[in-house]
Amino acid sequence: MSTTLREQGIETVHDQVVSLVAQRWAKAFRCKVTIHTSLEQNPWADPQQQCDIVGWHVSSAGNTTMEWMAEVETDDSIRDAATVSEWKQAVVRGIPFYLLVPRGLKESAQKLAVDALVPVSGIYEYTFVKDLCQVL
C-alpha cells in the first residue's frame, strides 16, 4: 500500500504512517478506526488505551468492541528501552496487536517482542520513496 502524504498539519514520520495505516485499514477491515497522534489525542473509547491506531465496531445494541490495535514505531522509538514496556501496557488479551516499523527493523522488533513476551499478531515495515509511504 502506498500514498502521498501531504495532509495538513501532519509533520512527523510517525503521524504520517499512523494516518496512512488508519485510512487503509479502516477500509480493509470495514471498521471504525481511531488514531492517537501528536495532533489528535483522543483514545478510541477508553482513556487508558494509548495505542496509535485502534480498529473497533459498534454493535446494533450500541456496544463498542475493540477489533485490533497497532503501534507505529520510528527509528528512534524502536531503539528506546521504554518502547517495549509501552507495548506491554497497550496489549489487551485476545485483541490482535500489530507493529509497524521502519524498513529493515522487522527482525529487531520481532526479537524485542519475543524477548519481552509481547504477543504480536503481525509486524509490517514501512518506507518512503519519493514522498510516497509504502507499507510492506
- Single out the residue of 59, 65, 77 nearest to residue 18, CA to CA: 77
Taken in order 104, 81, 76, 32, the sign of the CA dihedral is positive
Q: What average pLDDT does this structure show over 112-133? A: 94
Angle between helices 106-115 and 82-90 (to 10 degrees): 70
pLDDT score recorded for residue 1 = 43
- The pTM assigned to this predicted structure is 0.85
**What's the pLDDT at 104?**
97
Q: What is residue 86's predicted lDDT score, i.e. its pLDDT?
A: 92
And the C-alpha cell for 16? Answer: 504520517
pLDDT at 87: 94
Q: Which helix (H) or strand (E) holds 13?
A: helix 13-29
pLDDT at 3: 41
Residue range 69-89, pLDDT digits in tens = 999 999 999 999 899 999 998
Cβ proximity of 101 and 73 under 8 Å? yes
What would the pLDDT profile of 86-108 be if each residue is shown by its tens digit?
A: 999 889 889 999 999 999 999 99
State which amino acid sits at residue 117: L
Cell numbers placing 88 = 506491554
Residue 5's pLDDT band (cuts 50, 70, 90): very low
Would you identify the CATH topology of the domain 2-135?
A: Trna Endonuclease; Chain: A, domain 1 (3.40.1350)
% the chain with pLDDT above 90: 51
85 grid coordinates: 514496556
